[in-house]
Structure 1
Amino acid sequence: MTDPIRIGLVGVGKIARDQHLPVIDASPDYRLVAVASRHGEHAGVPNYRTLAEMIAEQGGLQAVALCQPPQARFEAALAAIEAGLHVFLEKPPGATLAEVGLLTEAARRRGVSLFASWHSRFAPGVEPARSWLSTRRIRSVSIAWMEDVRHWHPGQDWIWEAGGMGVFDPGINALSIATHILPPFFLTGATLEVPENRQAPIAGDLRFTDAAGTPIHATFDWRQTGPQTWDIRVETEDGTLVLSKGGAVLTLDGRDQPLPPEAEYRGLYDRFAALVRSGASDVDLNPLIHAADAFLRGERRSVEAFTD
């Protein structure tokens, strides 16, 4: 397959407008043929209310990118797979682990590609960090992922509902990087702070370790104002590695390392195109597993009500 992939997009919200649509429009690997959204539109292509309408009317459709909230994604993804379409899942890939497992098996049976995307893994400092750490003995890891929910998710009530993940919506980005650059690890304890008027946490303190007993500590908080914090600090026997600004900046013992420009979503769509053309899938559930473990094992503390 060398012609552009005929792709449709479902869910025209902030992330679609800011990232998906500009990348699709600029990429020679894709031709955007339609969008489906209950609330948003995109000029220049047919707009539908539902994915079912898009599938019924767009006979040449080959793939879809699903950008709606995770609680609604399983039904759409399964319908797309059953229609023979390749599927790109915005993160997190689903509201539960089991549903993503069912989608993976459905894609295998139908012979289509399924991509569980983790955009932070495509930040420019992540692969160099992974390479550097692969030959080092790690002593400790600290993760600080703190941002202002009112800035990034204004008025998005779904994110506070069951399945919306709360602070783990950004926190899972940190977990996606950590699971990519570190040896396998597991949760030993967590504290989740849940506003008294919400279902999902606004903050979390998580403790992990690995087979070697390495202490790994993560702090997620959605109440930070001013400068935002997206940092991973790794202490090794050969020095200190710091990924900051979500992986856009890499320092080794305080020295900035040369990196290419940020192009996370371009990297995602390059990867999806390669999967589609090779008939493969890429569904890594490790970041979602760690988030689920925090909900399973973490202690919950009620905190003051949150209003947007």
Structure 2
Amino acid sequence: MKIALVGVGKIARDQHIPSIAASPDWKLAATCSRQGSVEGIPAYTDLDEMMAAHPDISVISMCMPPVPRFDFARRAIAAGRHVMLEKPPGATLSECHALEDMARKAGVSLFATWHSREANRVAAARDWLADKTITRCHITWREDVRKWHPGQDWVFDPGGMGVFDPGINALSVMTKILPAPVHLLGAELSFPANRQTPIAAQLQFTDNVSADFDWRQEGPQTWDVEVWTEAGKLHLTHGGEHMTIDGVEAGADPVVPGEYPGLYAQMAQLVRAKEIDMDLSPLRHVADALMLGKRIETDAFDW
């Protein structure tokens, strides 16, 4: 199937373009971006112009930041194209619900992607926990914003989500593996004195579930999920790439290894089945944190 990329930035170059190139399901047929292009692929700066020039492109993958994404996705759906949304699927819950309504009326597929759910051991963790009694869960998601978003001020602007840009990855894993849903009880959010979004967050959920997000960690990065049960402790490390049960390696690799290759395989299935997957539970937890969170001012942040 022919697919187009809208937004050719860091995430597109690091993940989307290699995953499409390696997939048996997709052929990259065009790009639309103000700043980037792919050698040998028709490039456009206007979405409507691209769609008019390529009526045979049935799927469009949206890779730009969340704030401008709604209008691009709306126009693609109106043109009868299937749409794949980079995480988070939108800047607000309301616009995500609106896109789903539009897609259902248009009869096209729509996919809110959560790439961390496709890490190698996340499905195995979900399966192991399915019949267990969980006594505690703690998530530690600490990384260096300077490494992953160098100079990208939009992450600290309204709608950029701040530390919830990576933190939502942790929440996507949490909502995938826990056998019962939880909801937020409270949060402490640390905002740099000169920024509009938090750089760190401490979250407390029901059922003794907690999370620690921080965007200031230098050196080795930490993406861990620990779950204590009556049958032992499950530990996901490296964002879900590895899993241990009481310290012993466990779990099997998925059928399609790799986070973004897994997403593109799922999108192919959705398009063929004419289905929609708009699970918004990770974004809902972020919205709850921003509503319930206690604001704490911390040191100014500059690149």
Under TM normalisation by the shorter chain, which class is it?
over 0.9
Where 2:266 maps in the other structure, the secondary structure is helix
Q: 1:58 deviation in Å?
A: 1.2
Whether 1:228 aligns to 2:221 is yes
Give distance in 1, aligned partners of 2:28 and 2:232: 46
Q: Choose from 189, 199, 202 the match for 1:202.
A: 199
Q: Choose from 6, 12, 17 the match for 2:8.
A: 12
Q: Choose from 159, 166, 176 the match for 2:155.
A: 159
Question: Counterpart of 1:91 in structure 2: which amino acid?
Answer: K
Whether 1:56 aligns to 2:49 is no
Q: 1:260 deviation in Å?
A: 2.5
Give distance in 1, aligned partners of 2:13 and 2:150: 15
Where 1:259 maps in the other structure, the secondary structure is coil
Aligned-residue sequence identity (percent) comes to 55
Whether 1:263 aligns to 2:258 is yes
Correspondences of 1:2-151 after superposition (within 5 Å): 5-151=1-147
| Structure 2 residues without counterparts, runs of 5 or longer | none
Give distance in 1, aligned partners of 2:236 and 2:99: 33
Which residue in the other structure is 2:183 paired with? 186
Give distance in 2, aligned partners of 1:16 and 1:300: 33
Which residue in the other structure is 1:250 paired with? 243
Give distance in 1, aligned partners of 2:5 and 2:284: 27
Give distance in 1, aligned partners of 2:39 and 2:234: 44
Which residue in the other structure is 1:298 paired with? 293
Where 1:185 maps in the other structure, the secondary structure is coil
Which residue in the other structure is 2:272 paired with? 277
Asked if the contact 2:125–2:251 (Cα under 8 Å) also holds between the matched residues in 1, the reply is no
Which residue in the other structure is 2:234 paired with? 241
Question: Counterpart of 1:109 in structure 2: which amino acid?
Answer: K
Q: 1:56 deviation in Å?
A: 1.8
Give distance in 2, aligned partners of 1:283 and 1:41: 28
Where 1:78 maps in the other structure, the secondary structure is helix
Question: What CA deviation, in whole Å up to 9, does each residue of 1:238-295 have, x standing for no partner?
Answer: 1000011000000000001253285111100000000001100100000000000000
Structure 1 consecutive aligned stretches of length 4 or more whose deviation exceeds 2 Å: 258-262
Where 2:189 maps in the other structure, the secondary structure is strand
Given the superposition, is the C-alpha separation of residues 289 and 23 from structure 1 closer, same or farther in structure 2, using an over 3 Å criterion? same
* TM-score, scaled relative to structure 2: 0.98
Give distance in 1, aligned partners of 2:272 and 2:251: 32
| Structure 1 residues without counterparts, runs of 5 or longer | none
Which residue in the other structure is 2:167 paired with? 171
Give distance in 2, aligned partners of 1:50 and 1:235: 50
